[in-house]
Amino acid sequence: MAEQALRHIPVMLNEAVEGLAVREGGRYLDGTFGRGGHARAVLSRLGPHGRLLLMDRDPQAVAAAQKAFADDPRVSIRHANFSTLAEWDETAEGLDGVLLDLGVSSPQLDEAARGFSFMADAPLDMRMDTTQGESAADFLTHADEREIADVLWTFGEERFSRKIARAIVERRGESPITRTGELAALIERVVGRREPGKHPATRSFQALRIRVNGELDALQRGLDAALERLNVGGRLSVISFHSLEDRAVKLFIRDHSGRVQGSRRGPPVAAAPALLAAVGKAQFPSEAEQAANPRARSAVLRVAEKLPQGGHA
């Protein structure tokens, strides 16, 4: 199956790891282990006194990490959302680098039973951490029409959000929507085929996934936590896959860069102390990588470095 070939291909592997500027004796955190492509590359650059901390909110990813690295004394593993990285005692000594590979992982998409994809009929779950929280089906059962429409518009930029929300509420009046196939078929009936090469349910599924997993809130808290724990000179390397994520990362780096903020219509706002400096410009996957791994096509990598207090961007 062609999809299976994509399962273990880490996106922008060399660029993301190069962005960390790994030192042999450094201490690094991969907050989104997935299946460990980036983690293995970081570990290969560490010496015997280096440390690699691994986090993932997905129990299956944590199990894969334990199977691969449980016997390596340089590695510690934690089942948790990267947004809580500052609460982990292992990070208290400071970090020389934090890597985040955002969004849904290939294994999550490829396993139909997880409910992330409309390509196969399965329970409408979408939780990255299957041990807690409500599923997408749960959300669609209790949310009112306006809340559903707001989620589809805000997190999916779905132009037909109101029509889809109305159809969902009408449909659940007959019976709950509990499967991916049901939801995908309903959305296709409402909006039709409007974008060549893109299923009409794509934006809605993305929006529900982001809402169910609280992804944008987790990202903001995770960026704050990473900045708190990074040592001076430590690097933040973040791969995003859609504009909402990338905008959040871009603004976070800008807002901590010490630049004067404000608009042309108003007085400038005093700049906060510079805490981060962008390292180069945003990077994108090469044409060769996009051809080899279509899921890399929307990726954007941003790297920043922690500055000393009162440093200069």
> Where do we find the tokens 């492509």?
37
Identify which of 165, 236, 209, 273 has the alpha carbon closest to the alpha carbon of residue 20: 236
Question: Quick count: other Cβ atoms within 10 Å of Cβ 119?
Answer: 15
CA angle 137, 139, 140 (to 5 degrees): 65
Asked if residue 266 belongs to a known ligand binding site, the reply is no
Residue 105: strand, helix, or coil? coil
Asked if residue 234 belongs to a known ligand binding site, the reply is no
Distance of CA 280 to the CA centre of its chain: 21
Written as six digits, the tokens of 298 are: 């929307």
Asked if residue 138 belongs to a known ligand binding site, the reply is no
Asked if residue 220 belongs to a known ligand binding site, the reply is no
As to burial, measured by CB atoms within 10 angstroms (0-12 exposed, 13-18 middle, 19+ buried), residue 133 is middle
Q: Where are the beta strands (DSSP E) in 89-212?
A: 95-101
Give the length of the chain: 313
Consecutive H or E run containing 228: helix 215-229
Burial 6-44 (b: 16+ CB within 10 A, else e): beeebbbbebbbbbbbbeeebbbbbbbbbbbbbbbbbbe
Asked if residue 38 belongs to a known ligand binding site, the reply is yes
DSSP 283: B
Asked if residue 50 belongs to a known ligand binding site, the reply is no
Asked if residue 108 belongs to a known ligand binding site, the reply is yes
Cα dihedral 127, 88, 39, 156 sign? positive
Residue ranges for the binding site?
36-38, 56, 82, 101, 108
Residue ranges for the binding site for S-adenosyl-L-methionine?
36-38, 56, 82, 101, 108
